[in-house]
Chain A
Amino acid sequence: MALLNNIGALTQAFDQEMELDPRVVLYGEDAGFEGGVFRATKGLQEKYGKKRCFDTPLAEAGIVGSAIGMAIYGLKPVVEIQFSGFVLPAFNEIVAHAARYRNRTRGKYPLSMVIRMPYGGGIRALEHHSESIEALFAHIPGLKVVIPSTPYDTKGLMIAAIRDPDPVIFMEPKRIYRAFKQEVPEESYTVEIGKARIVQPGSDLTLVAWGAMVREAQKAIDLLADTEISVELIDLRTISPIDRDTLIQSVKKTGRFLVVHEAVSSFGPGAELISLITEEAFLSLEAPPTRLAGYDIPVPLPKGEHHFMITPKKIVSEIKRLIAY
């Protein structure tokens, strides 16, 4: 076991997969020599050489497009987009090709590749550095979208993503890159993509979150400690494909559903989850399934960002409202 934060967990996952599988290559802007602006790939160029871990020109379409070519050839590219806000030049490559190649070639050229990117707010950053755009990817058939919230899951999900036979969009909540540490097994292991994690069982309300919101949800539950309210907290971990069974079973037990996400509310992941619950657990519901999500605005710059942030207090307020419904 080693005590790692989310960055350390990523680095260890890359290191072990590169060691194990010579087809794994890792690249992106500043990702080689410097180890990335967040240092997730630090030390890997030194250990595996420039051939397997390198800097690219500043061009996201080139990064993702070339990864597609590599994956067609049979390599396993793991590419870094410096911030999710800068993946948009590569959107064409992701949507028009990465997501469709298996289908287009009737299975001849499936793309086993990982596109990873830091995302999310709460770090007092410049424009384009705070958005949560998981729904943009989750809406595209052919992509898997994974978001870890703990070092254990970060390592296990990244290894699973690298081994996955389909393209995986791996979104990293940068606000908690170094927020806390956790004991992580030294040896290699995977966490199954498409499986949510019940963080804490409960009987009155199902609370679903992912990424940095899991911690906020836990803080909210702590604030409820002196009440009778029993919350079941689920870390979704994979946005697409959704772990239907875990969610449906939970709501059948609790009768109430609250999803919390930083992504803007309209047409967001919460809408999809609420559809699922409404369709599959309708008769169990004791309150309207609800989302607590970002407002439909660009994330404000730091001086106004607090207006946008989802806080434990807001979560508590929604939980109480649904319990009293």
Chain B
Amino acid sequence: MKITLIRITFFLALFLIWYLVVAITQIPSYILPGPLDVFESFYIGFIKGNYLISIFYSMIRVLTGYFMALGIGIVTGILLARYYFLDITFGRSILSLQSIPSVAWVPLALLWFGISDNAVIFIIILEAVLPTALSTKNAMKNIPSNLIKAAQTLGSRGLHLYKNVIIKAMIPELVTGLRLSWAFAWRALIAGELFVSGAGIGQTLELGRALADMSQVIAMITTIGIIGYFTENVFFGIIEKRVRIAWGVE
């Protein structure tokens, strides 16, 4: 309660300072708009404009890429954990891919897929597959071996063993990996959208720049931050916590 109050006061003060700075220094609004301009841009953008549609298309894109990345990443991770040979060869090379930021893939994606959704989805998959695969691999390697041995002597093997023990035992660590992959996917989405046409958050942001509409630019940056925060921290945070409790990790 007290913390909430402090937070509200803090943000109000921040807006006030922002307002005063813009009002006093008379900075042109295409460089730094005041808070009211940005609120107006939000209001008009959501009620009459295309902000909701942009968010909708961006979500479709990112979810498509994300779920494809999960499928590919989980299978890859399991293979890397199971086959030592794959890990020391393929596993090593994908590790080095992880240090490449998503924008670096944009030129390649545009040449392969054109300025289309597919280019964006491709970048998202590239970015999200790696953390998924790595966390899957680690989750699998960290399964206590006695759990598997106990299950095997109880008659579990093959699909039953995978479904009821291996996957289940991996879940807490996997969820943490999925959260990380989501964070990567979200960033890759915006990076990709800046360069392609169509409806989307990144496109709207880029359009704001082209029209020198700094209010729209800031409105979109805020939107990216808010959605990112709620999905990464609130949504995944709750899931992670629940899983940890159900698995007795906490």
Q: Do A and B bind each other?
A: no
Interface, chain A (partner B; CB < 8 A): none
